Amino acid sequence: MNLNITGHHLEVTPALREYVTTKLDRVIRHFDNVTATHVILSVQKLKQKAEVTVHVRGKDIYVESEDDDLYAAIDSMTDKLNRQVVKHKEKKADHDHSSPRHQDAESAG
């Protein structure tokens, strides 16, 4: 997996990079086929913003979160991303199980 962390109007420190990496590793372990992840951390006056785009085969999942604290924004972003990843995984599993070949095998068996 290719992980890219970018900072807009702030410097991405090693501690911040480590925090984002550990948070995303927990979420991304759900998928085997994540090709790339792009994280943008930015500061806009008093708001801290964290956004991530996860490239999965067949779909790009985008999540953003704003908060007064950058670490809280990262936590909120990873929670949202986790919900979207689980939702995408369930949709993909439902789609795989409802294929005509699978239904024909059940009725023949």
Burial of 54 (0-12, 13-18, 19+ CB in 10 A): buried
Residue 62: give its domain's CATH number: 3.30.160.100
Which residues of the chain fall below pLDDT 50?
A: none
Q: How many domains does the chain have?
A: 1
| Residue 41 is assigned to a structural domain of this protein | yes
Whole-number pLDDT of residue 77:
96
- In which domain, by residue range, is 92 found? 2-97
| Residue 104 is assigned to a structural domain of this protein | no
| Residue 45 is assigned to a structural domain of this protein | yes
Whole-number pLDDT of residue 72:
96
Burial of 103 (0-12, 13-18, 19+ CB in 10 A): exposed
Whole-number pLDDT of residue 101:
55
Whole-number pLDDT of residue 89:
83
| Residue 10 is assigned to a structural domain of this protein | yes
What is the per-residue pLDDT across 37-51, written as a single tens digit (0 to 9) for each? 999 999 988 899 999
